[in-house]
Amino acid sequence: MSVDSTPPMEMLSLSDVVEEAEFSQRVPIRSIIGRSDGGAGLAGRVVRIGGWVKKGREQGKGAFAFLEVNDGSCPANLQVMVDATVFKLRDLVATGTSVHVEGVLKLPPEGVEQKVELAVQKVLAVGTVDAAKYPLPKTRLTLEFLRDVIHLRSRTNTISALARIRNALAYATHTFFQKHGFLYVHTPIITTSDCEGAGEMFQVTTLINEAEKLEKELKDNPPPTESDVKAAEELVQAKGETVTHLKSEKASLGKDGDGVAEINKKISAAVGELKRAKENLAKFEERFNLGERCKHSAGIPKKDGKIDYSADFFARQAFLTVSGQLQVETYACALSSVYTFGPTFRAEHSHTSRHLSEFWMVEPEIAFADIKDDMKCAEAYVRFLCQWLLDNCLDDMEFIVNSIDKGAIDRLKLVASSDFIKITYTEAIAILEEAVKVKTFENKVEWGIDLASEHERYLTEDHFKAPVIVYNYPKGIKAFYMKVNEDNKTVAAMDLLVPKVFLCSFQLY
């Protein structure tokens, strides 16, 4: 059940009151045009709205302007009409202009697409845009281009739809696991442990920063040279000899001889000088060594030929986590059902659609469960996510279908409504061996192989045309800690395959 404030569109009825957001002086546009009547039933209501102009045009020889305004609450825009007597139209029509306006909702002339439009009575605030400089034209842009205007790309249809979908999936994830009594655990991001060699790790350090500070400091205050140090050493020796000399002179005077008081004074002074010379030498040596460090290791401290991590922030080498698995398992062994949902990192230079250097990952852990419970959980979670998108993001999914992926909604419906096929790895191999008789795979099919992407796609997209869970994999291709089954050949691990995506992998310990 959703506790979202913006209810699924089909749940909005004509009797719904259009209310301003509680902490923002605007009625979300979704709650106007997302209604089943497209907002027609709200005609006559005075509302404030805020948003950004997607398209604007002056009409009637500059007598009025039409603005299509989007506030990010839904993919659709509200049509806004401003009379030239209300505001300087030239300042409103540029794409990207931010507008905060009050007006009355009106039925538009018949025959147009929108069901309601806003006739502005008062302009509360405007953030103008220089159309010549605004980098997002009305035409369709490539995702690659948008990487260069990253501060504005969330204003595009695609990125804003993805942001709403991602938000929905994140909240659905929490809702699903909380509903089933799982506790959310924040595992550490900075870690000193590797996790099953999941991939190359990023190092987290303050050593380089410290080294650069040191280099700068040594540039401002150059360290002593080798001969400076030598001179300081000689000074210590000379001062030491003076003390020795004075002491033997004192000894020759006898205990109460003449001049003892005077020589004591001299000794005391010489000892003081020796002490200062020693301190000076120590300081020279320390700074000389720092200078050498800068010369030989870019200022990074080394010991026995290796980097001396005792000087790093955590006094040891630290990395960004590649998985919270190890840490969250310790919670599962105390709290029974837990999950993580947080960022993870891989320092791999792989440019494929399956590799990111930073991504958010969900890791559930269940105690007192077997592989069947595990499969049930994975299936329920994935179906819950699909249904949630259908219930809460249908308008955004329609945008995706129209502009990016025709089959997206159909696949969501398929996954949300079908019982997942569950087959053992051994059964999967048998199906693939049958397929080989009439079809060619690039990779060999035989018991013991790790299923290739083409095999997985064949199973889910061609053979079953449905989501498939493959379980009980050969122990040889899975990690050492997985639970070995009674056959002593397979382990209790599973992968969930969904048409067009490889979703997730699970295992038992």
Question: Which of positions 273-332 make contact with a copy of itself (CB under 8 A)?
Answer: 295-298, 300, 302, 307, 313, 320, 330-331
39 near a copy of itself, rule: CB under 8 A: no
Tokens of 181: 């009594």
Sheet holding 501-507, edge to edge: 421-424, 468-474, 490-498, 501-507
166 near a copy of itself, rule: CB under 8 A: yes
Which residues is 129 bridged to in the sheet?
none
Whether the Cβ atoms of residue 437 and residue 484 lie closer than 8 Å to each other: no
Scanning 45-53, 251-259, 404-412, 434-442 for contacts with a copy of itself by CB under 8 A, the matching segment is 45-53
Scanning 104-112, 244-252, 362-370, 501-509 for contacts with a copy of itself by CB under 8 A, the matching segment is 362-370
Minimal distance, residue 50 CB to a copy of itself, in Å: 3
Minimal distance, residue 479 CB to a copy of itself, in Å: 19
Minimal distance, residue 384 CB to a copy of itself, in Å: 12
Minimal distance, residue 502 CB to a copy of itself, in Å: 21
264 near a copy of itself, rule: CB under 8 A: no
Complex with a copy of itself: residue 319 or 473, whichever CB lies closer:
319
Residues 171-200 that bind a copy of itself (CB under 8 A): 171, 174-175, 178-181, 183-186, 188-190, 200
Tokens of 476: 């040889």
Complex with a copy of itself: residue 50 or 467, whichever CB lies closer:
50
Nearest to 447, CA basis, from 485, 468, 482, 475: 475
* Binding flags for a copy of itself, 84-123, as an x/- string (CB under 8 A): --------------x-x-----------------------
C-alpha 384/C-alpha 412 separation (Å) is 10
155 near a copy of itself, rule: CB under 8 A: yes
Which residues is 505 bridged to in the sheet?
495
Counting residues that bind a copy of itself (by CB under 8 A) gives 92
C-alpha 64/C-alpha 80 separation (Å) is 10
Nearest to 446, CA basis, from 427, 467, 429, 461: 429
Residues 373-402 that bind a copy of itself (CB under 8 A): 373-374, 376-377, 380
Minimal distance, residue 424 CB to a copy of itself, in Å: 20
Whether the Cβ atoms of residue 466 and residue 413 lie closer than 8 Å to each other: no
Whether the Cβ atoms of residue 203 and residue 319 lie closer than 8 Å to each other: yes
Scanning 238-246, 367-375, 402-410, 478-486 for contacts with a copy of itself by CB under 8 A, the matching segment is 367-375
Minimal distance, residue 282 CB to a copy of itself, in Å: 25
Tokens of 475: 């122990």
22 near a copy of itself, rule: CB under 8 A: yes
> Identity (one letter) of the amino acid at 236?
V
C-alpha 258/C-alpha 244 separation (Å) is 19
Scanning 144-152, 241-249, 277-285, 435-443 for contacts with a copy of itself by CB under 8 A, the matching segment is 144-152
Q: How many CB atoms lie within 10 A of CB 20?
A: 14
30: left (phi over 0), alpha (psi -120 to 50) or beta: alpha
Scanning 273-281, 368-376, 425-433, 476-484 for contacts with a copy of itself by CB under 8 A, the matching segment is 368-376
26 near a copy of itself, rule: CB under 8 A: yes
SS3 call for 321: coil
Scanning 165-173, 225-233, 242-250, 494-502 for contacts with a copy of itself by CB under 8 A, the matching segment is 165-173
Give the helix/strand (H/E) hosting 81: strand 78-83
Q: How many CB atoms lie within 10 A of CB 85?
A: 7
Q: How many CB atoms lie within 10 A of CB 276?
A: 13
